[in-house]
């Protein structure tokens, strides 16, 4: 039986692994594919201290994973499908049928992009509809694309798209962006980025690939069909917490509720990073959460003795 199982290998999971390994806990990190998490798709992380020129999400995560491996963190591929946190020993069931028992758990499963839910979104996924500018932006060189959303992701990624596309229509449902001021300033000062204020996408259209996007102005009620080769959707995130069911308390959106020590409603179970109900979702806050969660797990194990 392990001291600690960390579920998820993004910035929060790897940081928890680094701290737990240094505390000499018998710890294993489970990750569905390879370590990295959502930040992998970010071409430039400018607000993680220590990298004055910024660093790509991919390189930052490579460095975190290397650091964890140097400290002998065991990283295994495994998808947790259900949990039983009712007893003193925590039980995890994996998709390959394996069962794991552990004294403590850190949930660091992050979040995934929310879908728009409009006609054409699923049909044209991979054929013009995308959730990742770093992955797909280069396919849109000298083309016109529509982007949707008004948060940090939408604005930052739309700015990245302007390096390739000749024009980016950024469709936002209100008349003010939610994104950080520095990103707003860059967006509003970029000639290739055209704001479509007070508007929503109602359908994504085409034959084999995306050919146009229908955008409705919420103030006038008028719909327009914008000719476009792609549609990038960045309308927020949803927590990867479905496998938890009723094992820990979740908020109304499904994010895991914790206290200041990162403890969930189940004793011995902690959460860190984007899956947690936190006011700020950044690499910096995820790694901070994780350091606290690892320390809390260590303290909890001490009290079991």
How many amino acids of this chain bind ligand NAP (CB under 6 A)? 21
Residue 231 annotated in active site? no
Tell whether residue 281 is a contact of ligand NAP (CB under 6 A).
Answer: yes
Give the shortest CB-148-to-ligand NAP separation in angstroms: 6
Q: Which residue lies nearer to ligand NAP by CB, 114 or 143? A: 114
Which of 105, 147, 154, 215 is in the footprint of ligand NAP by CB under 6 A?
154
Q: What string marks each residue from 27 to 56 as x (binds ligand NAP by CB under 6 A) or -?
A: --------------------x---------
* From 3, 136, 152, 274, active-site residue: 136
Residue 30 tokens read as 């489970």
Smallest distance, ligand NAP to C-beta of residue 153, A: 3
Residues near 185 by beta carbon (within 8 Å), at least 6 away in sequence: none
Residue 289 catalytic?
A: no
Binding flag, residue 174, ligand NAP (CB under 6 A): yes
Q: How far is the CB of 122 from ligand NAP (least distance, A)?
A: 15
The strand pair at 230-233 and 144-148 is best described as parallel
CB of 110 to ligand NAP, least distance (A): 10
**Is 237 near ligand NAP (CB under 6 A)?**
yes
Binding ligand NAP (rule: CB under 6 A), the pick from 28, 102, 104, 153 is 153
Catalytic annotation, pick one of 26, 84, 132, 198:
132
Positions in 109-138 near ligand NAP (CB under 6 A)? 116
> Residues 141, 143, 146, CA angle at the centre, nearest 5°?
115
- The footprint of ligand NAP (CB under 6 A) covers 47, 116, 148-154, 156, 173-174, 178, 200, 234-237, 280-282
Which of the residues are catalytic?
A: 132, 135-136
């Amino acid at each position: 039986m392990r001291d600690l199982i960390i579920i998820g290998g993004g910035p929060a999971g790897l940081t928890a692994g680094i701290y737990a390994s240094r505390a000499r806990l018998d710890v294993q990190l489970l990750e569905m594919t390879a370590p990295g998490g959502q930040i992998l798709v970010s071409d430039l992380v400018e607000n993680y201290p220590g990298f004055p020129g910024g660093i790509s999400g991919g390189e930052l995560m490579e460095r975190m994973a290397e650091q964890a491996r140097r400290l002998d963190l065991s990283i295994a591929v495994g998808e947790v499908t259900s949990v039983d946190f009712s007893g003193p020993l925590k039980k995890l069931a994996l998709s390959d049928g394996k069962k794991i028992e552990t004294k403590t758990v850190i949930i660091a499963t992050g979040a995934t992009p929310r879908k728009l839910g409009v006609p054409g979104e699923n049909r044209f996924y991979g054929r013009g509809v995308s959730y990742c500018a770093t992955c797909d932006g280069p396919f849109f060189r000298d083309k016109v694309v529509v982007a949707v959303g008004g948060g940090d992701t939408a604005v930052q990624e739309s700015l990245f798209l302007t390096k390739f596309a000749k024009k980016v229509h950024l469709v936002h449902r209100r008349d003010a962006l939610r994104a950080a001021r520095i990103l707003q300033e860059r967006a509003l000062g970029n000639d290739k980025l055209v704001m479509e204020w007070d508007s929503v996408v109602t359908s994504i259209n085409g034959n084999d690939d995306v050919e146009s996007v229908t955008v409705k102005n919420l103030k006038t009620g008028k719909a327009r069909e914008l000719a476009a080769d792609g549609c990038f959707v960045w309308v927020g995130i949803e927590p990867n917490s479905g496998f938890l069911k009723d094992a820990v308390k979740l908020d109304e959106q499904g994010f895991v509720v914790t206290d200041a020590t990162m403890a969930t409603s189940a004793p011995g179970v902690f959460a860190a990073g984007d899956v947690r109900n936190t006011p700020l979702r950044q690499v910096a806050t995820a790694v901070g959460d994780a350091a606290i969660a690892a320390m809390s797990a260590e303290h909890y194990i001490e009290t079991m003795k």
